[in-house]
Structure 1
Amino acid sequence: MTAAPFTLDAPDAASDEVLARLMRLHPKVIDLSLGRTQDLLDRLGRPQDRLPPVVHVAGTNGKGSTIAALRAIAEAAGYKVHVYTSPHLARFHERIRLAGALIGEDALTDLLIECETVNENRPITFFEITTCAAFKAFADTPADLLLLETGLGGRLDSTNMVDRPAATVITPISIDHVQFLGDTLRQIATEKAHIQKAGTPSIVGPQSDEALAVVSEYAQTVGAPLARFGLEWSATPDAAGGFRFDSPAWSGSLPAPNLRGGHQVMNTATSVAAALILRDQGFDLPDTALRDGLGRIDWPARLQTLTRGPIAEALPGWTVTLDGGHNAAAGDILAEELARWAEEDRRDFGAPRPVHAICGMMNSKAATDFLRPLAPYLAGFQTVAIPGEENAFSADDLASMARTAGIAGARAASDIPTAVAGLAGLPVPARLLICGSLYLAGRILRRNG
């Protein structure tokens, strides 16, 4: 059996040309600041002052899943929701969702050209100028709610331009982006805590004691009312995959979310805590919207099962799972899922199915910390360089780090099709895990439709 040939190149679009030009405006030195963002927003007429109610979300892990769950709840109640997330997977358009639909190609191109023109060739980072573009789109299109994800940190993140959001949410904080945010948990938590604002309720998901102390201290300093997991609210998983939610405002049982992984219970519980804050502010989010919304969550590349496309077709009888987790905390979460797979397989097949992995990672990530928890569960491990990414680890370097992390048989593959072809003759049933980066996941999804 041979793997079906496939490519990983994305189709060109007019917006791609503008995005490429915006990349070239990048300052020579990367410095996290708000000055360039503030200047461009002023030139655009301060769109950040004309937004619908904003829920601003920061954290290291779970931001996107929490936003996806809160969007599903609000949309189940009939609200029109803007969403800003990053990075994108297959197309840049995914970053800007306008009143429930991804921004269209023509609208995106026009918007980017407008921002490019108004910026007048001044140095500005790609994230800064595209965030300004998103604010302009959100201000110009009517909606009931904006869910706004930070790109990096919080204090100096370009999204941190809304003076009085309806609520802030801080998902679990761990070590990541140390070159920008600091190399201690306290430093990183401090950066993320700064999205909290005076008088704005702050919903805080599960945290380590150290991170929770930092977040709570800053909230109290600025006067942000706190709704913290384990204190003001709690969530307890049940045997059916759902959870019991308890708070002074509301208590009840909720169904399993439409997201794989035990960690998603806490992400979705955090979104429920946020929904209850919005309910207090006048949003009509009935219990039926909470329950229905959790069953409608759509968030690709988070333990996503691929049932079609070239990889699934090349490996009949395999279960193919795609995940974009890429830091130490994500490695721990993924290891918990692999352990759960083994238990499922013992029940269904009498023994765990072998798990083979294909991994690619960006060179800004602590690869060994991500990979070490996975080592006991893997029957085979191949590394690839992420196609089209200059700042990705080479396959050889990542394989070496994997061996350091305890994956003795790690080996480099020249590309993804070759790695897949190397699995095609192995006994089935088996599992394939593709992991290590949202950028790698995006390349896969582009050709998977």
Structure 2
Amino acid sequence: MDFARSADPAVQRQLDRLAALFLPQGRFGLETIHVLMDRLGNPHRQLPPVFHVAGTNGKGSTCAFLRAMLEAQGLSVHMATSPHLVRYNERIRIAGKLIGDALLADLLAEVLDQSDDLAPSFFEVTIAATFLAFSRTPADACVVEVGLGGRFDATNVIEHPAACGIAALGIDHERFLLAPEDGAPEIPLARIAFEKAGIAKADCPLVTFNYPHEAQEEIKRAAEKTGAVLAMRGRDWDVSAIAGLEYRDKLGDLTLPLPTLPGQHQMQNAALAVAMLRHQDAVEVSSEAMAEGIRTAAWPARLQRLSPGPLAGEREVWLDGGHNPSAGEALQQHFAGQRLHLIVGMLANKDPAAIIEPLARETASLTAVPVPQHDCHSRAAFGLRAVHAADVPAAVVALPDDDLPVLIAGSLYLAGEVLRLNRELPD
């Protein structure tokens, strides 16, 4: 777990308290977060319309598109995302701006003081502080990214969202999301869908992609059980990409621009954000604002080309925090047929093959680096081709002076370190 460091002493005191928390592994149930919310005055019931997004890959990007579209409409937007890359503050955006240090320190102290006897998790405290902040500052909408899974994620205390969305599904966080449980599906992707669809709420739009049959059936079951209004791609809405995004649903057709965020998968994430907005009636967003949001959305460390800086220099360096097979496939689609130097670092509980195998044909050199302050794979886990470097700067310096691009990938924690080293702090 990355608790971050802060230059502000008051924030650091609270981050130290967070770091000392008991961290329940695989807690099942929302009892603790509900008790904590009750003690805080139930701030989750005092929020503006909430857009709640789950998924294995793409949920953060979908949130970024939603925020950009809502703000292009002239609306004030709170946003909760995870994990942070460089600063803990990145998790909480209040009315468009990252939370300031003084307010962050006060909120964390308030929540930690109220939960001392509950043995809360890091994420439960974080979400409680986030919703407390949101409830105390006026805004027109909230965009909330699920942290892990959905069914038992702390964000799932949200009771009446404007719309829920489920992005791409894949196998990840197996230790938690595939843990044996009576009554849960045994087929892995169906179980993942079961967990993500746990955010469905009665009379609330549940907007999804289309998935393999076993996953699709679980999502349909969840919608029927809860009374959610299912809006599934291919049935209730669809999109194709030619010169732009051609979106269609029962309200009509839209022609929208292609995203400026790199990667073919971002077209799907942008379309999901559009579909979520089109299938709800809590806030009004014009097609012009949707188009502007697609053009302006930013989401760091997801196929991000680094600016010239202390780490990248003038070289073409790309950064991606993806660490599962779906992320590996997306990277391969983006770099297909293009030779590159791959610098990779992965946590010990992730599979190196997820990234290095899809990119095998594109990889001109492979350098393994540690993920600072985390248990991670050694060079040997990446195969005979891999060489070791002590850190990312050493890996970059050791690369041949050629015109090939560089891709740094494998961990969001590593990505945060790269952004820090290149002085590109998310804002």
Shared fold per TM-score greater than 0.5: yes
CA contact (8 A) 2:210 2:233 kept: yes
* TM-score relative to the length of structure 1: 0.88
CA distance in 2, matches of 1:122, 1:223: 32
Partner amino acid for 2:324? N
Aligned partner of 2:138 in structure 1 is 142
Aligned partner of 1:105 in structure 2 is 101
Change (3 A) 1:249 1:267: same
Once the two structures are superposed, residues 30-59 of structure 1 have per-residue CA deviations (whole angstroms, 9 ceiling, x without a partner) of: 423312111111111111111111111111
Aligned partner of 2:207 in structure 1 is 203
Equivalent position SS for 1:312: coil
CA contact (8 A) 2:150 2:197 kept: yes
Match among 393, 405, 411 for residue 431 of structure 1: 405
Aligned partner of 2:167 in structure 1 is 171
Match among 124, 131, 134 for residue 128 of structure 1: 124
CA contact (8 A) 2:6 2:12 kept: no
Q: CA deviation at 1:193?
A: 0.7
Aligned partner of 2:301 in structure 1 is 301
Partner amino acid for 1:228? M
Partner amino acid for 1:51? L
Aligned partner of 1:255 in structure 2 is 257
CA contact (8 A) 1:25 1:122 kept: no
Match among 387, 398, 410 for residue 372 of structure 2: 387
CA distance in 2, matches of 1:320, 1:27: 36
Partner amino acid for 2:261? L
Once the two structures are superposed, residues 148-183 of structure 1 have per-residue CA deviations (whole angstroms, 9 ceiling, x without a partner) of: 111111111100001211111011111011100107
CA RMSD, Structure 1 to Structure 2 (Å): 1.6
CA distance in 1, matches of 2:229, 2:27: 31
Aligned partner of 1:370 in structure 2 is 355
Q: CA deviation at 1:265?
A: 0.3
Match among 24, 37, 43 for residue 41 of structure 1: 37
2:385 equivalent to 1:412: no
Match among 49, 53, 56 for residue 53 of structure 1: 49
Partner amino acid for 2:317? V
Change (3 A) 1:121 1:446: farther
Q: CA deviation at 1:291?
A: 1.1
Partner amino acid for 1:269? A
CA distance in 1, matches of 2:211, 2:13: 41
Q: CA deviation at 1:202?
A: 0.6
Aligned partner of 2:284 in structure 1 is 284
Match among 1, 8, 14 for residue 13 of structure 1: 8
Match among 340, 344, 351 for residue 355 of structure 1: 340
Unaligned regions of 5+ residues in structure 2, if any?
A: 180-187
Once the two structures are superposed, residues 377-408 of structure 1 have per-residue CA deviations (whole angstroms, 9 ceiling, x without a partner) of: 1000111111122x3x14x2xx32322xxxx4
Once the two structures are superposed, residues 192-242 of structure 1 have per-residue CA deviations (whole angstroms, 9 ceiling, x without a partner) of: 11100111011102423322221112112211111111111111011x3x3
Match among 440, 446, 449 for residue 414 of structure 2: 440
CA distance in 2, matches of 1:32, 1:307: 42
Aligned partner of 1:401 in structure 2 is 381
Equivalent position SS for 1:194: helix
CA distance in 2, matches of 1:192, 1:70: 19
2:239 equivalent to 1:235: yes
CA contact (8 A) 1:81 1:99 kept: yes
Q: CA deviation at 1:10?
A: 6.1
Determine what percentage of the aligned residue pairs are the same residue: 41
Q: CA deviation at 1:121?
A: 4.8
* TM-score relative to the length of structure 2: 0.93
Partner amino acid for 1:182? L
Q: CA deviation at 1:296?
A: 0.9
Aligned partner of 1:347 in structure 2 is none
CA contact (8 A) 1:25 1:121 kept: no
Change (3 A) 1:328 1:30: same
Aligned partner of 2:182 in structure 1 is none
Aligned partner of 1:193 in structure 2 is 197
CA distance in 1, matches of 2:141, 2:398: 47
Equivalent position SS for 2:316: strand
Q: CA deviation at 1:29?
A: 5.1
CA contact (8 A) 2:305 2:319 kept: yes
Equivalent position SS for 1:373: coil
Change (3 A) 1:28 1:55: closer
Q: CA deviation at 1:142?
A: 0.6
Partner amino acid for 2:252? W
Unaligned regions of 5+ residues in structure 1, if any?
A: 1-8, 343-351
Once the two structures are superposed, the pairs formed by residues 43-122 of structure 1 within 5 Å of their partners are 43-122=39-118
CA distance in 1, matches of 2:402, 2:43: 55
CA contact (8 A) 2:254 2:287 kept: no
Q: How many residues align?
A: 411
Equivalent position SS for 2:21: coil
Change (3 A) 1:199 1:402: same
